[in-house]
Amino acid sequence: MKRSLTYLIPDLVMGLGFFLVTFYTVLEIGINGISTFIANLIAWPIILLALLTTVSMFLVVGYSLRLQIRHEVEIEAVSDYYERALDSTNQGLAIIDRNYKVKFQNSVVETNFGNAIRRICYEVYSGRNAPCEGCMVEEVIDTYKPFTTSRTLQDGRIFEITLAPFKDRDGRTVAVETMKDVTEKRKLQDQLERHAMELEHEIELATRELKNDQLKLSEAYKDLQELDRLKTQFFSNVSHELKTPLTVIKAHLHFLKTGKLGELTEKMKRSVDVAMRETLDLEDLVEMILDLAKLDAGNFKLDLVQIVITDIAEDVVERMAKNAEAKGQNLILNVEGEIPMRLIDPRRMKQALMNLVSNAIKYNPENTTTMIRLHADSENIIVDVTDDGIGIEKEELDKIFDRFYQVDGSTTRSGSGTGIGLSIVKELVELHGGTITVESEPGVGSTFRILLPIDWQIEEGGEDRIGIGRGVYR
């Protein structure tokens, strides 16, 4: 408002001059009388023009004054709007010239540092008689490059301060200083750094413990390997030691049964038959233990020949039929379509099938049926050993091929076993490049499925465990 009146002083002086001239002319006419009026009749148009000009000048001055006042009000409103907007950011803002004089500051700066408008900034903001050490106001103005630093107040608060060059409306370079309270941010950063250091220390300790544990585990693993080797060697030695007396026992039982040692009564013959069956079972068990020892030692080898697996299945059914009949069960073979030839170790594949059939006969009651079903698709030969017996609980299926695991480990279970038969079956099938799975439902029965890829080839490096036989399966 004061600046508006200042701008209008020349207009007011000019209008006042025209008014005084006009007033003086009218007064002169009144004093000199009518004669002078008539004599100066020519001057009337000039007097009238002066009056009109004076009135117009006062109207223009009044209108300009109103426009200027409205313009100043609008400027003040806009200025107040942007100042409030700056205050709402919670960031301080001040404009400082080359002489460190504050030309503007918002309320955030005033609240935190005091009112320094038209005063020297370092005297108000820092209470000093000279610029603060490291003050960059002049350098920012001279180089026209921004600068950022931080400042800690006596009450412990930390402000992040940025100085940026700016041209004012007179074209002079000033420094715009923004101040942001980062106390909480710095505290959080300090906490994070402390936590990071603590975590790093804990990780270092844990790493040391892990290395120590790893060393202990490595030593324990070596001890277990040695124990496993000794166990395997023990099984192998015991098995070999058992085979010799079993051979002698089988020979003498044969002598008794054939009458070479004298005639036997029917009761005695039945006892000899029981002893022979148990001896054969024990011999099978010894063979399985030997197989486990060979598998663990990596000395187990297949003797492969090109053969149709149907021949092996027929042999298994023929040999196990009497066992099934003795328990009142049925054993049948179902061959669907043509079964292709494939590399197979006949002895080991027969061992696997006999184990599956033997388990079905052993653990199922009378009037049940066990069937070996052979068929093939475009990729695999499929062998299904299915029974309609007691079945297996669902929770047992995942463990059934684990070594030494028995579906019923109690002393009251209906059949006997060691828990190593199915694990050997699985390893024999996998040595042939195949897979074995089981599906079962309690009270309905079980199906063991063997998949043997038709185009199976010995993997490179597998010759140490697999040999190619030259004979033909009989």
pLDDT at 472: 36
pLDDT at 50: 64
pLDDT at 301: 81
**Considering the domain boundaries, does residue 345 fall inside one?**
yes
**Considering the domain boundaries, does residue 474 fall inside one?**
no
**Considering the domain boundaries, does residue 252 fall inside one?**
no
Amino acid identity, position 38: I
pLDDT at 1: 47
Residue 376: pLDDT band (50, 70, 90) is very high
**Considering the domain boundaries, does residue 272 fall inside one?**
no
**Considering the domain boundaries, does residue 287 fall inside one?**
no
Over residues 346-353, the mean pLDDT reads: 91
CA distance 357 to 332: 11
pLDDT at 88: 64
What stretch of H or E contains 75? helix 44-88
pLDDT at 379: 92
**Considering the domain boundaries, does residue 71 fall inside one?**
no
Rounded to an integer, what is the distance from CA 123 to the centroid of its chain? 57
Claim to verify: residue 317 and residue 444 sit in the same structural domain = yes
Q: Which two tokens stand for residue 49?
A: 């023009």
Given 153, 185, 217, which residue is the final one in a domain? 185
Residue linked to tokens 């099978």 = 284
Residue 411: pLDDT band (50, 70, 90) is very low
CA distance 234 to 220: 20
**Considering the domain boundaries, does residue 75 fall inside one?**
no
Given 153, 169, 185, which residue is the final one in a domain? 185
pLDDT at 46: 61
Claim to verify: residue 175 and residue 309 sit in the same structural domain = no
Instruction: Calculate the average pLDDT of the chain.
Output: 78
Q: What is the dihedral of CA 336, 338, 339, 342, to 10 degrees?
A: -170
pLDDT at 372: 94
Of 27-31, 75-79, 261-265, 324-328, which has the strongest mean pLDDT? Answer: 324-328
Write out pLDDT tens, residues 250-270: 787 878 878 777 788 888 888
Over residues 403-411, the mean pLDDT reads: 56
328 or 462, which is more confident: 328
pLDDT at 353: 94
Q: Which long-range contacts (C-beta less than 8 Å, at least 24 apart) are formed by 412-420? A: 414/363, 415/359, 415/362, 415/363, 416/362, 417/359, 417/362, 418/285, 418/288, 420/288, 420/289, 420/292
Indicate which CATH number applies to the domain containing 389.
Answer: 3.30.565.10
Range of the domain at 166: 90-185
How many CA atoms are closer than 13 Å to the CA of 144, on its beta-carbon side?
4
Contact 283, 250 (CB under 8 A): yes
Q: What is the CA radius of gyration of the chain?
A: 56
235 or 380, which is more confident: 380
pLDDT at 371: 93
Over residues 231-249, the mean pLDDT reads: 69
Given 141, 169, 185, which residue is the final one in a domain? 185
* Sheet of 91-96, strand order: 102-105, 91-96, 173-181, 158-167, 147-152
Write out pLDDT tens, residues 415-427: 444 557 788 899 8
pLDDT at 297: 67
Is the pLDDT assigned to residue 386 strictly greater than 70? yes
pLDDT at 432: 92
Residue 454: pLDDT band (50, 70, 90) is very high
Is the pLDDT assigned to residue 2 strictly greater than 50? no
CA distance 366 to 244: 36
Residue 334: pLDDT band (50, 70, 90) is very high
Of 79-88, 116-125, 323-332, which has the strongest mean pLDDT? Answer: 323-332
Share of the chain above pLDDT 70, in %: 72
Over residues 444-452, the mean pLDDT reads: 93
Pairing status of strand 466-468 against strand 302-307? parallel
Residue linked to tokens 């209470």 = 127
Residue 136: pLDDT band (50, 70, 90) is confident
CA distance 226 to 223: 5
pLDDT at 469: 43
Contact 305, 343 (CB under 8 A): yes
Q: Which two tokens stand for residue 323?
A: 């066992």
Residue linked to tokens 């008794």 = 256
Share of the chain above pLDDT 90, in %: 18
Number of structural domains found in the chain: 2
Over residues 119-144, the mean pLDDT reads: 82
Is the pLDDT assigned to residue 234 strictly greater than 90? no
Write out pLDDT tens, residues 37-54: 554 555 556 666 666 776
Residue linked to tokens 């199976």 = 456
Contact 67, 156 (CB under 8 A): no
Write out pLDDT tens, residues 67-117: 777 777 766 665 666 666 666 667 888 888 888 898 888 888 887 778 888
**Considering the domain boundaries, does residue 407 fall inside one?**
yes
pLDDT at 87: 62
